[in-house]
Structure 1
Amino acid sequence: MTGDTAYLADWQIDLGGILIGRGTSVPLRDIEGLGTPDRRSGDRPIPGEDGNYPGKDTYAPRVLRISAGIRTPGDPAAALDRFAALEQAADTEVRLTPGAVDVLRIRRPGAPVRRLYGRLAGVEAVSLADAPFGWIPIQISFVGLDPAWCSDTLSGLNLPLDVSSQDKQGFTAPLRAPITTGSADPASRPGWALNSGNRPAWPSVRILGPAVNPRVWIAGVPDAVLAFSVVLGDGESLDVETRPGTRTVMRNGQGSAAGTLVRPSRLDRFFVPPGRSEVRWSAQDATGTSRLVLTWRDAASSI
């Protein structure tokens, strides 16, 4: 499953639909902040002794500082219009909406387009001295609230209740022992997820009813389980977001259904690990029409 996105050439950046970089009227000069983000140390002093006890270190937001220049030779009005468009991209409803994010898309040579989720923090004209000649050096700041770089294409799975077979709908009488479910060869089941990055990918989960007490898990990831105490009728759905800072459970797109989560559910552990993993789920459904839809973007530590 893939998402339709605008094409980017090498060393081009898409800021809210505004294209800058190679081959545009806003060539890039430099990009700072592409290395390892700042760390928030969890170290604690050891009482009565030298040194610290090593704790859990986490990453701070990734801050990108893009140096560029608006170049429209002999056309100062076009240069100023271009600058105004960039200013407007930083002044949208996103900044007034808690939880909302901007998207920065970038492509470097030898790699696919990747995106960063955060806030377009500002656009500054470094100098207007050469604006009459159609040249305005600018500085763009983007704060990546999630420091991971995500794939520009969306991956996903659409699974029936019995993920071991696309056309199995249950048992057929008469039953004979031994009774087994699933394929003898796990590789033949359709629930395999591939994250081609090197960081965990946080998926979106949708369960489409009718389904009673659904349970979803990712094999090989400790605690990657979502279990619900809920009865979903035909046409009803549960939507779960697992990305840090946006973790929610919604029923039919209206209001929180976080109360339907039961042990051992862990939103903070439900991720698609790097490489290949298997997604499984179970529920009670006499019709065999319920579905699990899982979507994610591969995640990497660099562009």
Structure 2
Amino acid sequence: MPLAEGEFKLTYSANGVHPGAAFTFGTVRSGYYLLDDFEVKDTDVTSGDAPLPREDGVRHGQDYTTGAVITFEVGVDTVDDGDTLLERHGANLDAVSVMKQAWDAKAVRDRMATPAVLSTTQGGRARRWYGRPRQCAKAASKLTRQGYTPVVATFATAHTGSFDDVEQSVRVDMAPPPHRGIKGPLKEPLSMVGEGTVRVPGEITVRGNRPAWPVITITGPISQPVCELVGKWKFGLNLTLAAGEKVTVDPRPWARTVLRGSGSVAGLITRGSPLLEDLLIPTGRQDFVLRGTDATATAFMTVAWRDAYAYL
């Protein structure tokens, strides 16, 4: 079910005996409504500033941020879930426990480089963050026995800004698409067969107001594959993929992997390729091309991305 305006959803997968979560909150219908507007606070910048020797002033260096912290003040409301004080109290304790279990996130805390996803709809826009739930503390309240408890919870993101909740993708083939031709016998007026394309294969439009991270999957048979973002960068791999074999390049900050199956082939990135941290797609119209050696012309790649925003 799609999120209603103002709702949030915390999701992550199960891991062994530790359960996953799909916890919805933020509105009255969820039973966990916000008491105040949520706060998105970027963490302090780690600056590379250095004082100038023997004089006043400073030389600015490279600066870095370490993500944002999102804070929620949530009212856990079960006032209507029982006819007696005891029933309302019990229902409220259960509801608070459900939230704290989702926020505990043991399933992702046990795994390196594995984020949870926090999705929301704000102003009709579906957005998401990647990170991990952190604090989830019940505030002191005399109303818990009446069926109401305020809770303060935080979510630490692995990045600044947010991403579109809808992932987009394009398939780029080694072989060009069939060309339109002339239908015989030739008569006046001449007619063309075949449907015209609305875009060039490999053409995409990145919206948002920040560069986007692509997830690139190349499917063989192909040798020395190269993914080229025309006019921007070329990313190559010194390997050969058999028919149906795949390699996935994921430069997103919480992943930073180059995998063939479950094994890393990051050591086979060709010289001259950009660092994974620089593998970004600028906003606007862009073109992707797959290059390499493929006698069958059946190799292809898929480029998937989410539009990125400085806020929402």
Tell me how far apart the structure 1 counterparts of residues 119 and 258 of structure 2 sit (CA, whole Å). 28
1:211-222 alignment, distance < 5 Å: 211-221=222-232
Q: 1:95 aligns with which of 109, 116, 119?
A: 109
Cα distance in 2 between the residues matched to 1:115 and 1:34 = 13
Q: Which residue of 2 aligns with 1:11?
A: 6
The one-letter code of the counterpart of 1:93 is A
* Structure 1 Cα separation of the partners of residues 164 and 9 of structure 2: 14
Task: Report the secondary structure of 1:198's partner residue.
Answer: coil
- State the alpha-carbon separation in 1 of the partners of residues 49 and 311 from structure 2: 26
Structure whose alpha-carbon radius of gyration is higher: 2
The residue that corresponds to 1:199 in the other structure is 210
- Whole-Å Cα distance in 1 between the matches of residues 116 and 58 of structure 2? 38
Q: List per-residue Cα deviations over 1:38-83 (Å, max 9, x = no partner).
A: 3222211111121211122222220111011111115222221111
Q: Does 1:242 align with 2:256?
A: no
C-alpha separation between the residues in 1 aligned to 2:39 and 2:62?
23
How do 1:158-237 and structure 2 match up within 5 A?
158-162=171-175, 165-167=176-178, 188-221=199-232, 224-237=233-246
Aligned to 2:193: none
**Compared CA separation, residues 35 and 120, structure 1 to 2 (3 A):** closer
Give 3-state SS (helix, strand or coil) of 1:85's partner: helix
1:108 to 107, 117, 122: 122
Aligned length: 275
User: For 2:155, which of 138, 142, 152 is the aligned residue?
Assistant: 142
**Number of the residue aligned with 1:295:** 304
Residue 75 of structure 2 is matched in structure 1 by 69
TM-score, normalised via structure 2 length: 0.83
Taking the aligned partners of 2:308 and 2:223, their CA distance within structure 1 comes to 32
> 5+ unaligned residues in a row in structure 1: which ranges?
1-5, 169-186
SS state of the match for residue 88, structure 1?
Answer: helix
With over 3 angstroms needed to count, the CA separation of the structure-2 counterparts of 1:166 and 1:79, relative to structure 1, is farther
RMSD: 1.9
Structure 1 consecutive aligned stretches of length 4 or more whose deviation exceeds 4 Å = none
- Matching residue of 2:268: 260
User: Which structure 2 segments of 5+ residues have no match?
Assistant: 12-21, 83-87, 180-197
CA distance in structure 2 between the aligned counterparts of 1:166 and 1:78, rounded to whole angstroms: 61
- The question of 1:39 aligning with 2:45 is answered yes
Partner of 2:186: none
The TM-score, its normalising length taken from structure 1, stands at 0.85
Per-residue deviation, 1:151: 0.7
Contact kept, 8 Å, 1:218 with 1:270, in 2: the verdict is no
